[in-house]
């Protein structure tokens, strides 16, 4: 359920803080900065967005590259299924498999 709606673009969110954060994309508000000097010295070379911490820039850049550094320790694929331990290289395949286990949709699974 996503009861929080953006009055500008209509996008919906499950948590109020996510809506608040999203609205900043419309207003341009940038409330985060270095607590000492107020600067945001880390700049994205793709879109120009600025950050006060290098780790935030690193995480942001993944939105452009699609990089996912989190993966299964056994098979190296990025998603590991919690019910049957099958791993997938694409999130869409993982989501479809989850539907198989939860019996949402026309799929079935031999684990159940």
CATH code at 45? 3.30.160.60
Please compute the mean of the pLDDT values over residues 23-28 and round it to a whole number.
84
Q: Which residues of 95-109 are buried (b: 16+ CB within 10 A; e: fewer)?
A: eebbebbeeeeeeee
Mean pLDDT of the chain, nearest integer: 71
Q: How many CA atoms lie within 13 A of 5 on its CB side?
A: 5
Residues 88 and 104 in one domain: yes
- Between 75 and 7, name the one with better pLDDT: 7
In a domain, 18, yes or no: no
Within 10 angstroms of residue 79's Cβ, the number of other Cβ atoms is: 19
In a domain, 14, yes or no: no
Q: What's the pLDDT score for residue 106?
A: 45
Instruction: Say if residues 49 and 60 touch (Cβ distance below 8 Å).
Output: yes
| Local structure of 58: helix, strand or coil | helix
In a domain, 40, yes or no: yes
- Between 44 and 93, name the one with better pLDDT: 44
In a domain, 4, yes or no: no
At 33-44, the pLDDT tens digits run: 677 777 888 888
Domain count, the chain: 2
Domain that holds residue 112: 68-112
In a domain, 8, yes or no: no
């Amino acid at each position: 359920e996503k009861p929080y709606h953006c009055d500008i673009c209509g996008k919906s969110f499950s948590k109020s803080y996510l809506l608040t954060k999203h609205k900043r994309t419309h207003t341009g508000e940038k409330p985060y900065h270095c607590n000492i000097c107020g600067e945001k010295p880390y700049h994205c070379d793709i879109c120009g967005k600025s950050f006060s911490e290098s780790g935030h820039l690193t995480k942001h850049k993944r939105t452009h590259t699609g990089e996912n550094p989190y993966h299964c320790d056994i098979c190296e694929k990025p998603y590991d299924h919690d019910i049957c331990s099958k791993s997938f290289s694409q999130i869409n395949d993982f989501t479809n498999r989850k539907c198989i286990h939860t019996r949402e949709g026309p799929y079935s699974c031999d684990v159940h």
